[in-house]
Structure 1
Amino acid sequence: MRPTFPATALRRLSLLSIGMTTTFTLTACSAAPSGDAATSGRSVTPTAHAAPKGVVTVEVANATLNAYEKSNNRANKTRDRALLATVEGGQLFEQSQADYRQLKTWPLQEQKEYGSAFSYANRTWFVPAKGTASWFAATATSTYGPKNSSLMIFDKVGGTYKLVASLWSTGANPPPAIATDQHGLAEAVDPSQHVGALAPTELPAAFADLYATGGKNSGSKLTPTKITKAAISAYTNRDKGANSAYATKKYFPAQPAHEAVYALRLADGGVLTVFPTAFTSEFMLRPPYMSNHKINPSDRESVYNSTSRVLVTNEYQGQAYATLTPTGEPRVLGYESRLVDSR
């Protein structure tokens, strides 16, 4: 996927990036005397304990991102879906496939920019201890947007580490500080455990509820942010506009193509969560017009189905990140979505 700016809901946006310049420090500690030696006065030789290891080393993490950077640039240039699939997965790959299919409908300048090469700098890795997670995270900037920072998640897909999530933030809204311990390791948090109002695994449904009901159900537990307000606005204004006299629009929750939720402990004690999003929209002619009118799909919708019809159903797949605190409501701080099907 190629990063695009600015990131706004329901528009082509991309997220990439990450890296790291720090290393993990391994330290040793002394074992306390025990058994006969502790009571007999005999001397005891302290036993050194190796520091815990991360899911991956910094070298492996950097090599993984380097491989992604190389293959992603090549794939974007020729729209090579099979090549991209070797380094990308999850919701991010769903979005990239949509980009590839819809690229011909974009302005020519944007098409050209999408195929140009870029790289990642200022890499900082956040790696959980081995045995506590299957994945690792990072932040970084891109040569395509050096003033913007990206939060990325790498997880194993088919036995290979691939980039599965990537979300941009601006200089005015940087990613929150992620905690690391004395060994330089990050803490993976169980996403099924509640942190204040919601558990991380409940965020996909709460976010979809903003579109479906305007936040009357679980979406009411989300703190108002620029992103949540935009989602509620889409619901509120669904039947307004030039075509509202002829057709109605409704939003419904949908199943994310990839349901994995990732959570890390923040420096302030809260939790950072990267989660999938999905919903559908239905644009349907009002009954008086169904017998002699049809809806003409847009250029992007026509990529999937160019037939004029009385009902246009669109599916959107995306990703978002939020912070949760034990005493407050979750704050959704980053979001991306793509039209992935129209029928």
Structure 2
Amino acid sequence: MTPNAPELTQRWPAPRKIPVDLRRGKRRDSILRILDVLVSTQVKVAVLIHRDEPPENRIDEYKTTLTVSERTTVATDNDVVSLELRAPGGSDLERWYPGAHLDLYLPSGRIRQYSLCGDPADRRCYRIAVRRIPDGGGGSNEVHDELPVGTVVGVRGPRNAFGFVEPGRIERAKRVHFVAGGIGITPILPMVREAERMGLDWSLMYVGRERRTLPFLEELSSFGDRVTIRTDDEYGLPAANDLLPPNVRSGDAIYCCGPVPMMDLITACVRNEPGVEVHAERFSAAPVVDGRPFRIQLARTGQVIDVAADQTALDAVLRVNPKAPYSCRQGFCGTCMVHVSDGDVDHRDNSLSPAERAAGKMLLCVSRSNSPCLTVTT
């Protein structure tokens, strides 16, 4: 206010409703309509510009909700349950192919990935199977104990990081051999059906501790002697030659899924065989290779976490924050992504784009640090 200016004593409050017309007409004034649109647009833009940034580890919301329509125990030890998921209205679901998996959003907020093990031709149903891991992260226990028929769950996917490639079209494979360890049969089962449908020369070695722990034995029995069951209690721990077909040769394609030691055994055996293709999916994190110890400082709290040379950054974070989000532990789902504000990241994933890496994104489950300490926002 300038000196000696008269003081304004009368106030004119803003109207609660936009006047119909500035000149008291009955039709809405065109100028007011234009001003209303301009002001509303400006407010929306301002909100977008100045809103708080979402957490860096936030992932896309699930695409759809499905209902648990059927539960079946598929191993005689009662520790593997199969769930059928359908759209509430019975509509067709998104198409999928052998090797695909779903991200399942559990009622607790946990996100877990499970391979689809049903028939890709059935567009009305997704089937998954889950083994109970009593001392695991809690996801399998929740599936077993808290998802009765009628439960509505969120789902993202299907997505495929372990696709079955048709021999002769992209590959040069002449013979296909599958190796499944325990619950590792889930992504292999649709591949077996597809190989049979295509008339391929295929075989399956299915291994586990005991027969009662192996799911889907009854379904597999229809394939006859193409399927070999081998259990540790009958034959002892298998060597690589026990898992692979006789005289592995050029033109063979091997698809395997199961425990890490089994996968490493197979890979080491055929690594130097020319013309042999190996396709594998792990159900647990790969061991850390050439790791060095480093520290993670949490930007929000200042807490410093030590990461050992043979430990993943995710495991170190989970030790102090058990509710930190994660899912695949293999560097492709993005659930454990954080933002690094200080430090040099040793990226070991195959998922982040160059732009995401340049923006400071990091996947805790596989990536490490080239510097003594990383400052991250979780």
Q: TM-score, normalised by structure 1?
A: 0.26
Comparing both chains, which one has the higher relative contact order based on Cα–Cα distances under 8 Å and sequence gaps of 6 or more? 1
Q: Which has the larger radius of gyration?
A: 2
